[in-house]
């Protein structure tokens, strides 16, 4: 099933188990993927596995807890794909548990 053919999706935590599995499912369904992770070495390995599904796969080493890094990987995605159709925000940092609207950017 290629119901996501041509869609451009960012997957953070792309070198981890959940991010990698999700990226594989998305690529299998036809999406082009930007894998983002703090683990540069693991990104290269995961890139090859996701690319085996025949879609475009880019990688970006980034710490998603830093605003400038988030802006940078968004820029990488737009440069590589021309647009972004979806985000799988799988990576993050632990902090207080509260409603999203109560968080400040920091």
What does the pLDDT look like over 37-67, one tens digit per residue? 999 999 999 999 999 999 999 999 999 989 9
Structure tokens at 61: 């080493």
Four-residue CA torsion sign, 3, 7, 8, 9 = negative
* Contact call for residues 91 and 17 (beta carbons, < 8 A): no
Percentage above 70 pLDDT, the chain: 94
Helices of type H across the chain: 17-28, 40-51, 67-81
8-102 maps to CATH 3.40.50.150: no
* pLDDT one digit per residue (tens) for the chain, 106 residues: 799 999 999 999 999 999 999 999 999 999 999 999 999 999 999 999 999 999 999 999 999 989 999 999 999 999 999 999 999 999 876 666 778 788 777 6
| Distance between CA atoms of residues 28 and 61, nearest Å | 23
| Distance between CA atoms of residues 90 and 87, nearest Å | 9
| Distance between CA atoms of residues 97 and 79, nearest Å | 34
State pTM to two decimals.
0.88
* Contact call for residues 2 and 30 (beta carbons, < 8 A): yes
């Amino acid at each position: 099933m290629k119901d996501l053919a041509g869609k451009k999706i960012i997957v953070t935590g792309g070198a981890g188990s959940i991010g990698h599995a999700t990226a594989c499912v998305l690529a299998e369904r036809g999406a082009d993927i930007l894998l983002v992770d703090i683990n540069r070495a693991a990104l290269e390995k995961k890139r090859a596995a996701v690319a085996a599904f025949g879609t475009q796969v880019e990688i970006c080493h980034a710490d998603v807890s830093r605003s400038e890094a988030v802006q940078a990987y968004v820029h990488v995605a737009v440069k590589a794909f021309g647009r972004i159709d979806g985000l799988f925000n799988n990576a993050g940092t632990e902090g207080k548990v509260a409603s999203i609207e109560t968080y400040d950017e920091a």
